[in-house]
């Protein structure tokens, strides 16, 4: 698998720093699952995080802080703190996804337009970024649309192209309000993507005007 399109550095840094919202985190983690280059970058940035920590000015701890920790060191770990036993994941048929995402609950597939359907992934905590799977039939031309916020797309299977190039499995695409999408799905194979969408999607054109009221995209 040759990955040609990677997330911008600020998202890889944000992932390592722990400052992304959960929906964005899911999209970056999905890309990392298939991309050793970006995994190396994240690991590098975690070392940078360690260096930043090491260089900080210390803030004195409360007087009894060490004693309070020592008092808890011999206590057995609380049941809530044990890692839950692995259970079958709703998305186990998608090994392209990170393990923690495969365990999330998913809604059923929903129809958007001819050749196009989506399946929301239910995040365990509120996030301003929603995540869903998007499946497009071979040769589908995506509806004209614009974004009010950022949209991250991770290609899981199949591929598409738009004016910035050809996208295949493992590739990452970032759309925002400054870009107009003119996406055409490759012929021959359905395209499955994980999409993390911040803000709203505005469909344009006649079909968009018809389906928009029924979609909570």
Partner 1 sequence: MQADSQRASDGRHWASLIQAVAERGDRAAFASLFDHFAPLVKTFMRRSGLAEASADELAQETLLLVWRKASLFDPSTAGATAWIFTIARNLRIDAHRRGRRDGLTDAADIDAEFQIDDAPGPEANMATSQAEIRVRAALTTLSDDQRRVLELSFYEEKAHGDIARILQIPLGTVKSRLRLAMNRLRGLLGEPS
**Contacts to partner 1 from residues 115-144, by CB under 8 A:** 124-125
Q: Distance (Å, rounded) from C-alpha 88 to C-alpha 23?
A: 22
Q: What are the C-alpha distances in Å from 90 to residues 118, 142, 153, 156, 192?
A: 15, 27, 21, 16, 16
Does 57 bind partner 1 (CB under 8 A)? Our answer is yes
Place of tokens 């012929």: 187
Are 158 and 1 a contacting pair, CB within 8 Å? no
Does 108 bind partner 1 (CB under 8 A)? Our answer is no
Are 154 and 3 a contacting pair, CB within 8 Å? no
- The minimum distance between CB 168 and partner 1, in angstroms, equals 20
Does 82 bind partner 1 (CB under 8 A)? Our answer is yes
Q: CB count, 10 Å around CB of 62?
A: 8
Cβ-based nearer residue to partner 1, 116 or 156: 156
- The minimum distance between CB 15 and partner 1, in angstroms, equals 8
Residue ranges in contact with partner 1 by CB under 8 A: 8-10, 12-14, 17-19, 22, 25, 29, 32-33, 36-37, 39-41, 43-54, 56-62, 65-66, 68-70, 72-73, 77-78, 80-84, 98-100, 124-125
């Amino acid at each position: 698998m040759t990955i040609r399109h990677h997330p911008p550095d600020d998202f890889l840094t944000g992932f390592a720093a722990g400052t992304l919202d959960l929906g964005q985190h899911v999209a970056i983690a999905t890309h990392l699952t298939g991309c050793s280059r970006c995994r190396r970058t994240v690991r590098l940035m975690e070392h940078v995080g360690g260096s930043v920590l090491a260089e900080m000015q210390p803030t004195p701890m409360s007087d009894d802080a060490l004693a309070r920790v020592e008092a808890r060191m011999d206590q057995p770990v609380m049941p809530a703190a044990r890692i839950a036993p692995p259970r079958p994941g709703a998305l186990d048929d998608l090994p392209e996804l990170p393990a923690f995402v495969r365990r999330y609950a998913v809604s059923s597939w929903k129809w958007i337009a001819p050749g196009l359907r989506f399946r929301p992934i239910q995040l365990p905590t509120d996030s301003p970024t929603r995540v869903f799977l998007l499946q497009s039939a071979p040769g589908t031309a995506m509806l004209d649309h614009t974004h009010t916020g950022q949209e991250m797309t991770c290609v899981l299977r199949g591929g598409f192209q738009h004016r910035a190039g050809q996208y295949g499995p493992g590739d990452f695409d970032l759309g925002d309000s400054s870009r107009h999408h003119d996406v055409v799905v490759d012929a021959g194979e359905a395209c499955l993507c994980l999409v993390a969408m911040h803000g709203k999607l505005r469909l344009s054109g006649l079909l968009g005007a018809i389906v928009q009221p029924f979609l909570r995209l």
